[in-house]
Chains A and B, each alone.
Chain A
Amino acid sequence: MRGVGGRWHAGDMTTSPAPSPVAAARAIDLRKTYGRGDSEVRALDGVSLDVEAGRFTAIMGPSGSGKSTLMHCLAALDSPTSGQVIIGETDLSKLRDKALTALRRDQIGFVFQAFNLVPTLTARENILLPLSLAGRRPDAEWFDTVVDTVGLRDRLGHRPSEMSGGQQQRVACARALASRPSIVFADEPTGNLDSTSGAEVLNFLRRSVSEFGQTIAMVTHDAVAASYCDRVVFLADGRIVDELRAPDRETILARMSALQAAAIASASPAPGSAV
Chain B
Amino acid sequence: MLRLTLRNLLARKVRLVMSGLSVILGVAFLSGVLVFSNGLSSTFDAIITGSTPDGVVRPVGSAEFDGGFSGQSDLTLQPEVVDRLAALPEVARADGDVDGFGMSLLGKDGTVVGGTGAPTLAFNRTDAPTMDGRQALTLTSGRWPSEAGLAADGSAEIVLDDAAAKAGDYRVGDEVKLVAPFGQLQRTARLVGTAEFTAGGTAGATLLVFSTRAAQQIFLGGADAFTRISLTAAPGVSQAALVRAADRVLPENYEAATGDTVAQESQDAIGTFLGVINTFLLVFAIIAVLVGGFIIVNTFSILVAQRTRELALLRALGAGRGQVTRSVLVEALAMALVATTAGVGIGWLLARGLAAIFRSLGLDISSDALDLTAPALIASYAVGVGVTLAAAYLPARRGAKVPPVAAMRTDTAVERPLGRRTLVGTIVIALGAGLVITGLSGAPGSDAAWVGTGAVLWILALIGTSSVLGRPVLLGCRALFSRLLGTPGRLAAENALRDPRRTGATASALMIGLALVSTIGVLAASLNSSIDDLVDEQFTADLLVRDSTFLPFSTSVGDAVEKVPGIGTISRQQRVDARVDGADGAPRPGTVDVGGVSGTYSEIYRPDVVAGTARFTGSEAVLAQGEARSLGLGVGDRLRLSFQGGKRLDLRVVGVVKDAESLPDVLVPLERLADAGLRRQDTSISILVAPGSDVATVQKAVDDAASVVPTVGVFDKVSFAEDLRGQVNQLLYLIYALLALAIVIAVIGIINTLGLSVIERTREIGLLRAIGMSRAALRRMITLESIAIAVLGAVLGLGLGVLVGVLLQRSLQADLTSLGVPLGQLAVFLVLSVVVGVVAAVVPAIRAARLDVLRAIATE
B488 contact set on A, CB distance < 8 A: 133
Interface string of A94-121 (1 = CB under 8 A from B): 0001100110111001101010111111
A135 within 8 A of B: yes
* A120 x B772 contact (CB < 8 A): no
* A118 x B770 contact (CB < 8 A): no
* B495 x A77 contact (CB < 8 A): no
Interface string of A157-191 (1 = CB under 8 A from B): 00001000000000000010000000000000000
Given contacts A78-B854, A121-B494, A161-B411, contact A101 B763 (CB under 8 A): no
B775 within 8 A of A: yes
Could you tell me the distance in whole angstroms from the C-beta of B597 to the nearest C-beta in chain A? 74
A98 contact set on B, CB distance < 8 A: 774-775
* A133 x B773 contact (CB < 8 A): yes
Given contacts A118-B491, A118-B767, A121-B494, contact A102 B854 (CB under 8 A): no
- Give the most central of B491, B497, B766: most A CB within 10 Å: B491
- Contacting A at CB under 8 A, from B777-794, are 777
- Contacting B at CB under 8 A, from A130-166, are 130, 132-135, 161
Give Cα A133 to B487, complex, Å: 6
A10 within 8 A of B: no
- Contacting B at CB under 8 A, from A39-75, are 72, 75
Given contacts A102-B772, A120-B495, contact A77 B854 (CB under 8 A): yes
B774 contact set on A, CB distance < 8 A: 98, 101-102
B768 contact set on A, CB distance < 8 A: 118, 129, 133
B770 contact set on A, CB distance < 8 A: 75, 77, 104, 110, 116
Residue of B nearest to A73 (CB): B854
A275 within 8 A of B: yes
| Interface residue tally for chain B (C-beta within 8 Å) | 26
Given contacts A101-B769, A102-B772, A130-B772, contact A120 B491 (CB under 8 A): yes
Residue of B nearest to A132 (CB): B487
* B494 x A105 contact (CB < 8 A): no
B322 within 8 A of A: no
B777 contact set on A, CB distance < 8 A: 133
B763 contact set on A, CB distance < 8 A: 114, 116
Residue of B nearest to A135 (CB): B486
Give Cα A135 to B774, complex, Å: 12
- Give the most central of B411, B486, B766, B854: most A CB within 10 Å: B854
- Give the most central of A130, A133, A175: most B CB within 10 Å: A133
B772 contact set on A, CB distance < 8 A: 101-102, 104-106, 130, 133-134
Could you tell me the distance in whole angstroms from the C-beta of B527 to the nearest C-beta in chain A? 46
Query: A110 touches which one: B487, B495, B771, B773 (CB < 8 A)?
Result: B771
B411 contact set on A, CB distance < 8 A: 161
Could you tell me the distance in whole angstroms from the C-beta of A101 to the nearest C-beta in chain B? 5
B491 contact set on A, CB distance < 8 A: 118, 120-121
B592 within 8 A of A: no
B764 contact set on A, CB distance < 8 A: 116, 118-119
B853 within 8 A of A: yes
Could you tell me the distance in whole angstroms from the C-beta of A164 to the nearest C-beta in chain B? 12
Give Cα A134 to B857, complex, Å: 20
B479 within 8 A of A: no
A130 contact set on B, CB distance < 8 A: 771-772
Give Cα A98 to B769, complex, Å: 11
B766 contact set on A, CB distance < 8 A: 116
Query: B486 touches which one: A72, A77, A109, A132 (CB < 8 A)?
Result: A132
Give Cα A101 to B487, complex, Å: 16
Given contacts A118-B764, A120-B491, contact A133 B771 (CB under 8 A): yes
Residue of A nearest to B498 (CB): A120
A102 contact set on B, CB distance < 8 A: 772, 774
A117 contact set on B, CB distance < 8 A: 767
B858 within 8 A of A: yes
Residue of B nearest to A185 (CB): B770
Give Cα A133 to B411, complex, Å: 27
* B773 x A101 contact (CB < 8 A): yes
Residue of B nearest to A106 (CB): B772
Give Cα A105 to B487, complex, Å: 14
B495 contact set on A, CB distance < 8 A: 120
Give Cα A135 to B773, complex, Å: 11
Give Cα A133 to B780, complex, Å: 13
Give Cα A26 to B572, complex, Å: 100
Give Cα A164 to B834, complex, Å: 39
Could you tell me the distance in whole angstroms from the C-beta of B411 to the nearest C-beta in chain A? 7
Could you tell me the distance in whole angstroms from the C-beta of A100 to the nearest C-beta in chain B? 9
B767 contact set on A, CB distance < 8 A: 110, 112, 116-118
Give Cα A114 to B410, complex, Å: 11
Residue of A nearest to B763 (CB): A116
Query: B498 touches which one: A105, A119, A133 (CB < 8 A)?
Result: A119
Query: A120 touches which one: B494, B775, B853, B858 (CB < 8 A)?
Result: B494
Interface string of A251-270 (1 = CB under 8 A from B): 00000000000000000000
- Give the most central of B769, B772, B774: most A CB within 10 Å: B772
- Give the most central of B486, B766, B767, B858: most A CB within 10 Å: B767
Give Cα A98 to B767, complex, Å: 16
A72 contact set on B, CB distance < 8 A: 854
Could you tell me the distance in whole angstroms from the C-beta of B493 to the nearest C-beta in chain A? 9
A109 contact set on B, CB distance < 8 A: 771
* A129 x B487 contact (CB < 8 A): yes
- Contacting A at CB under 8 A, from B127-177, are none
Give Cα A134 to B767, complex, Å: 15
- Contacting A at CB under 8 A, from B474-520, are 486-488, 491, 494-495, 497-498
Give Cα A110 to B769, complex, Å: 11
Could you tell me the distance in whole angstroms from the C-beta of A34 to the nearest C-beta in chain B? 12
Give Cα A105 to B858, complex, Å: 19
A121 contact set on B, CB distance < 8 A: 491, 494
A118 contact set on B, CB distance < 8 A: 491, 764, 767-768
Given contacts A101-B769, A110-B771, A133-B773, contact A120 B497 (CB under 8 A): yes
Give Cα A119 to B494, complex, Å: 9
* A129 x B771 contact (CB < 8 A): yes
- Give the most central of B487, B495, B768: most A CB within 10 Å: B487
Interface string of B621-651 (1 = CB under 8 A from A): 0000000000000000000000000000000
Give Cα A114 to B858, complex, Å: 9
Could you tell me the distance in whole angstroms from the C-beta of A189 to the nearest C-beta in chain B? 14
Interface string of A216-234 (1 = CB under 8 A from B): 0000000000000000000
A75 contact set on B, CB distance < 8 A: 770
Interface string of A189-203 (1 = CB under 8 A from B): 000000000000000
Could you tell me the distance in whole angstroms from the C-beta of A217 to the nearest C-beta in chain B? 15
Could you tell me the distance in whole angstroms from the C-beta of A158 to the nearest C-beta in chain B? 15
B494 contact set on A, CB distance < 8 A: 120-121
B486 contact set on A, CB distance < 8 A: 132-133, 135
B857 contact set on A, CB distance < 8 A: 77, 112, 116
- Give the most central of A101, A116, A175: most B CB within 10 Å: A101
Give Cα A175 to B771, complex, Å: 9
Could you tell me the distance in whole angstroms from the C-beta of B488 to the nearest C-beta in chain A? 8
Which 10 pairs show the lowest CB-CB distances between chains A and B? A105-B772, A120-B494, A132-B487, A116-B767, A101-B774, A130-B771, A104-B772, A77-B854, A133-B772, A78-B854
22 A-B residue pairs with Cβ-Cβ distance under 8 Å, sorted by A, are A77-B857, A98-B775, A102-B774, A104-B771, A105-B771, A105-B772, A105-B773, A106-B772, A110-B771, A114-B763, A116-B763, A116-B857, A117-B767, A118-B491, A118-B764, A121-B491, A130-B772, A133-B486, A133-B488, A133-B771, A133-B772, A175-B771
Listed in ascending order, the chain A residues whose CB lies under 8 Å from chain B are 72, 75, 77-78, 97-98, 101-102, 104-106, 109-110, 112, 114, 116-121, 129-130, 132-135, 161, 175, 275
Listed in ascending order, the chain B residues whose CB lies under 8 Å from chain A are 411, 486-488, 491, 494-495, 497-498, 763-764, 766-775, 777, 853-854, 857-858
Beyond A101-B774, A104-B771, A116-B767, 12 additional contacts (C-beta under 8 Å) are A72-B854, A98-B774, A98-B775, A101-B775, A102-B774, A104-B770, A118-B764, A120-B494, A130-B772, A133-B488, A133-B768, A133-B771
